Amino acid sequence: MDLRSTLLLIGGSACSFKLLNTVVGFLPTPEPARSKAWKWRNISTSLAHSSVFHVMVFCFCYFIHDFLDMTLNEPLRKSWELLLHHSVVINRVCVSSRLYVGFALVSLLVEINSVFLHIRQLLLITSWLNLGTFLVFRGFTLGWMSRWLACHSEHMPRYVLMMGTAGLTLVSIMNAALFYKLLRADILRNTSKAKTEMELY
């Protein structure tokens, strides 16, 4: 694929997410989400991405769209973590798309859990299923990727290994923090609330 076709594909895909985001804005917004209509649109677009992430270019373009959307609509203090995540993903796809296609595709397994995370946010639900898919698709995938990098480090150019290790370390730390937040919000809070209610009786 030549450069012109690649740029058209990337631009067209990123614009399609913007169009989807705009269309979602015209749909009825549920009552609890009306105070944060932008967030509702963003999460709905993210859910659409998570549901069809298997096409790598489409996924890459989604991250470009979401990065720009959050930059324009969300204060940096609230979105820095996701902006950093998107930057790492965009960088990882650019570096690995030619030499390490399999590694890049395996890394997209992490996005399967995003479907459950977005449904959780849209429907305001908590679920053990969400934590289970988090461990399987994020924890195990990132663990496998770390092992793969360690086993193949001798056969990789140093700069690719350093970028891969730095990006994987950053994403792993961010996922550990996200897992803790989910555990605290969905499980520990509900457990302590149930314990308090039992003590009242």
Q: Give the model's pLDDT for residue 87.
A: 80
Q: Give the model's pLDDT for residue 54.
A: 47
pLDDT band at 197 (very low <50, low <70, confident <90, very high): very low
Return the percent helix, strand and coil in the chain, to nearest 5: 90, 0, 10
Instruction: Give the pLDDT confidence of 76-114 residue by residue, as tens digits.
Output: 888 888 888 778 777 766 655 556 666 666 666 777 777
Q: Would the pTM count as exceeding 0.75?
A: no
- Spell out the domain ranges in the chain: 3-200
In sequence order, what are the residues at sequence separation of 6 or more whose Cβ sits closer than 8 angstroms to the Cβ of residue 105? 56
Q: Give the model's pLDDT for residue 160.
A: 82
Asked whether residue 201 carries a pLDDT value surpassing 50, the answer given is no
> Where is mean pLDDT largest: 12-16, 39-43, 57-61, 98-102?
39-43
Q: DSSP code of 28?
A: P
Asked whether residue 191 carries a pLDDT value surpassing 50, the answer given is yes
Cα gap 197→173, rounded to integer Å: 34
Instruction: Give the pLDDT confidence of 129-162 residue by residue, as tens digits.
Output: 788 888 888 899 899 989 999 999 998 888 888 8
Residue 110 has which token pair? 């992490």
Q: Give the model's pLDDT for residue 176.
A: 92
Q: Nearest-5° angle of CA 90, CA 39, CA 194?
A: 110
